[in-house]
Homo-oligomer: A and B are copies of this chain.
């Protein structure tokens, strides 16, 4: 005897008539009760995206069995997970603590369905925070010479912990193209600027010099093309002429942690699907 479970089904495929009926019909065959369903057909890419939450009193095998003909017929890329299952997550940090603090706090308070299996840092400054939240801390120093070795170590940790997600929570190192490709779609970065905008170094100083009236932050998937990965979430904060660079940075940190927390939550809840350079976010 099985208990009723709520499943999340996400899928994408070339758009054509009948997809919703086919999926809903297959689930109805198991007496599934669809409690949430969202979809989007992108007229530009020609792709169709769908996210369904469905209560079913049946094991995963049954779901897979009834879905198989549909996913094959429509050429779907798809995924099936249980609602609320925490995503095994590696947090990568350097010395700035605001994002680590915020994500760890949200996990502990039950607001964020992730399970931080490792905190990896090229410094030791944040070990105390990891200890407080009882998160395994790995110090992996990086120099120009040891970069390849450090990335190998990161991959080892990801593999060993069976991590599903890597969050660059103000990790001040650029990942190699190879690593980006290896972990494609599984690495979220928080960019301390409102993309597309001040790229590169010291964005708050650039923002101050340009005299902007809003500063922002952008959470996006990391890709080999730096700062060009699909955007998941952005937000801004109003600034005044008398806010100096330090104040912009302090306000920026508040936006960064807010934006990153939202992006990680939506990803962990399987609400984000990649559509070329864009994302579909089923909030």
Contacts and interface: CB of A to CB of B under 8 A. Distances in A.
Interface stretch (A137-145, A183-191, A226-234): A226-234
Contacts of A195: 210, 212
A111 interface: yes
Contacts of A213: 231-234, 281
Interface string A45-87: 0000000000100000000000000000000000000000000
A51 B223 CA distance: 36
A281 B283 CA distance: 14
Copies in the complex: 4
B38 A38 contact: yes
Interface stretch (A5-13, A16-24, A149-157, A170-178): A16-24
A209 interface: yes
B37 A36 contact: no
Given A41-B35, A241-B275, A210 B231 contact: yes
Interface residues of A, number: 65
A278 B38 contact: no
A73 to B, nearest CB: 13
A249 to B, nearest CB: 10
A123 to B, nearest CB: 16
A5 to B, nearest CB: 14
Contacts of A39: 34, 36-37
Nearest to A35: B41
24 contacts: A17-B28, A18-B31, A19-B34, A21-B24, A21-B34, A22-B28, A24-B25, A35-B41, A37-B38, A37-B39, A97-B109, A132-B132, A195-B210, A196-B197, A197-B197, A209-B278, A211-B231, A211-B279, A212-B231, A214-B234, A214-B235, A236-B236, A241-B278, A241-B280
Among all A-B residue pairs, the 8 with the closest Cβ atoms: A211-B278, A21-B28, A21-B24, A17-B33, A213-B234, A20-B24, A241-B280, A24-B24
